């Protein structure tokens, strides 16, 4: 699992469907941090949601699940994951505090009916063992971040695995004399970190497979990026590297969004 927001999205949706208990959600989030603070971003959001403000409180998952249940309880209510980065803000409501916070965090969740006012949740790490979730008032975009089916996402990931391996091979050619470079070891370490985070039993095999493949690609790209940055290089070479990796990272985000959307919607 790639982020606390993805974990919350898939486990909360399983809870809403009656296929997981609140303690299951708590256990899953506990792999990210043992303590979760929850609060509102402003007084208006606090009044509307009943969340603490101005100081967040250690409430476990109770208030998170309350916000999610209330936001998805209306007809057409949705739970959406977003994984934005600068230059790729798919699925975000523009010009909002939620947008700015989600871009900074690289993740977030939108809750509500498309085209209507709703809520957003963004986690940030405020200590080694503490995540703080902030709720924002935010309009829910009419169109989700991605409209890619599971079949298309899986096919895309198969191609991206090959492209990521090619990118790593290019780095290894340059580093032939650097004996400390052990790509396989670094990739395995990254994959082990991803594997700590579990999926609900109700998640489809296909959605699970897509997320696992996306994690594999992300591990390869992270190693390629880290090692290439450590090399002496020119501005032109750095630009070429970034241009090579950018669409691969975008494909990873697309696949993760599609797989989580499939899990949330029972596909």
pLDDT tens digits for 42-66? 999 999 999 999 999 998 789 999 9
Angle in degrees, 0-180, between the axes of helices 22-30 and 4-16, rounded to the nearest 10? 170
Q: Which residues 6+ apart lie within 8 Å of 176 measured at CB?
A: none
Token pair for 79: 């739970």
C-alpha 138 chain-centroid distance: 18
Instruction: Name the nearest CA neighbour of 206 among 248, 254, 260.
Output: 260
Question: Would you place residue 68 in the very low, low, confident or very high pLDDT band (cuts 50, 70, 90)?
Answer: very high
Per-residue exposure over 154-182, b if at least 16 CB sit within 10 Å of its own CB, e if not: bebbeebbebbeebbeebeeebeeeeebe
SS3 for 12? helix
| Distance in angstroms (rounded) separating the CA atoms of residues 110 and 121 | 7
Token pair for 56: 């967040």
According to the model, what pLDDT value does residue 176 have? 46
| Distance in angstroms (rounded) separating the CA atoms of residues 207 and 229 | 32
pLDDT at 232 over 70: no
Token pair for 11: 């486990």
Cβ atoms of 162 and 246 within 8 Å: the answer is no
pTM over 0.85: yes
pLDDT, tens only, 103-148: 999 999 999 999 999 999 999 999 889 999 999 999 999 988 888 8
- Mean pLDDT score across all residues of the chain: 88
pLDDT at 226 over 80: no
How large is the average pLDDT for residues 230-246? 67
pLDDT at 231 over 80: no
């Amino acid at each position: 699992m790639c982020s606390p927001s993805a974990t919350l999205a898939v486990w909360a949706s399983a809870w809403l469907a009656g296929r997981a208990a609140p303690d299951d959600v708590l256990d899953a989030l506990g792999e990210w941090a043992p303590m979760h603070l929850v609060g509102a971003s402003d007084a208006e959001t606090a009044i509307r949601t009943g969340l603490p403000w101005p100081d967040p409180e250690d409430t476990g998952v109770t208030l998170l699940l309350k916000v999610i249940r209330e936001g998805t309880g209306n007809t057409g209510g949705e739970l959406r994951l977003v994984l934005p980065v600068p230059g790729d803000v798919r699925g975000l409501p523009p010009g909002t505090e939620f947008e700015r916070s989600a871009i900074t965090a690289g993740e977030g969740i939108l809750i509500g009916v498309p085209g209507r006012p709703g809520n957003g949740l963004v986690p940030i790490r405020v200590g080694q063992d503490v995540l703080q979730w902030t709720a924002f008032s935010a309009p829910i975009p009419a169109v989700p971040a991605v409209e890619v089916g599971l079949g298309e996402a899986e096919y895309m990931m198969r191609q991206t695995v090959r492209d990521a391996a090619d990118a790593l091979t290019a780095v290894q050619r340059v580093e032939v004399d650097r004996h400390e470079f052990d790509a396989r070891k670094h990739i395995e370490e990254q994959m082990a970190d991803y594997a700590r985070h579990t999926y609900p039993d109700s998640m489809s095999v296909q959605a699970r497979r897509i997320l696992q493949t996306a994690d594999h690609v992300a591990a390869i790209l992270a190693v390629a990026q880290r090692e290439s940055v450590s090399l002496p290089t020119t501005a032109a070479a750095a630009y070429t590297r970034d241009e090579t990796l950018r669409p691969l990272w975008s494909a990873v985000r697309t696949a993760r969004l599609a797989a989580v959307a499939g899990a949330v919607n029972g596909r």
